[in-house]
Structure 1
């Protein structure tokens, strides 16, 4: 019992030591995927029975109600749900999710697979990863997945559009 408590405390201290504004040395976590939130976020049960939220680094999958959102979530679910994965934690975000590269099966990079299959965008605002950019460029060229739509809207633009629509609706309501 003491060992479990101590290992949990060490994990929490490690996670809390991440600063959202600083890059930290990658930390490796092993665990079993126990929940899929969407195409780029899931819950991981670590070896010490702690559940943490993991957000895939440097990519952005379509939001709910966007085309290919369900396909991205289903792909992730088939690839990692109820399976053991290796999580390379890069940092935490403001929502306390672990931002990470995730590996499954025979060291397959989940982040790369989603972009390669046209189920995610390379999130260039936060990443200069040349491999992800190359995978996205190839998926666009080959019209794979979401790139079948020449006017595919990125998730960050989708969120901005929804936020603006909400703001305008609220503004119009206050005028009336």
Structure 2
């Protein structure tokens, strides 16, 4: 085997560590509104928040979403609930703080994230988004808001 092949294999093996469907971990980083880093069994693990998509950092409310997440969970132990799905070496999961609060849902409620319908058929997230839209809060206060996925498509060829 070539060295590059071995390194790639090791990277993928390390990135997709085996994790239970539910576990606790300490938040050691907030990459953006919908991506965090936790320390699980003394190893860093990237978590992509399930069901949602936050605005990109250069979009309106992108930095607010990141700051909101950091304020709520950075440095805290959180409960991670997942279905064993990975995407781009990130575990897709819901994150609970203060025992019962779901950061994924809270971001949608506050208008700091959209329901990511391409990857989620959840009625709960759909309904939370509809309420935020009606109240015109966060991203829904913008007259012509662009979805994060549309923004990425047009800005990252």
- SS, match of residue 27 in structure 2: strand
TM-score of the superposed pair, with normalisation by structure 1: 0.77
**CA shift for structure 1 position 71:** 0.5
- SS, match of residue 46 in structure 2: strand
Partner of residue 38, structure 1:
32
Partner of residue 78, structure 1:
71
How far apart, in 2, do the equivalents of 1:139 and 1:94 lie?
27
Is it true that 1:159 corresponds to 2:149 in the alignment? no
Q: Can you list the C-alpha shifts for 1:66-109, whole angstroms capped at 9, x where unaligned?
A: 00001100100011000000001223434110000110003101
More strand by share: 2
1:21-60 paired onto structure 2 within 5 Å: 27-46=21-40, 48-60=41-53
Instruction: Mark the CA change 1:105 to 1:66 in structure 2 (over 3 Å): closer, same or farther.
Output: same
TM-score of the superposed pair, with normalisation by structure 2: 0.86
| Structure 1 unaligned spans of 5+ | 1-8, 16-25, 167-176
How far apart, in 2, do the equivalents of 1:91 and 1:145 lie?
31
Aligned CA RMSD, in angstroms, stands at 1.7
How far apart, in 2, do the equivalents of 1:149 and 1:94 lie?
30
- SS, match of residue 127 in structure 1: coil
- SS, match of residue 119 in structure 2: coil
How far apart, in 1, do the equivalents of 2:101 and 2:58 lie?
28
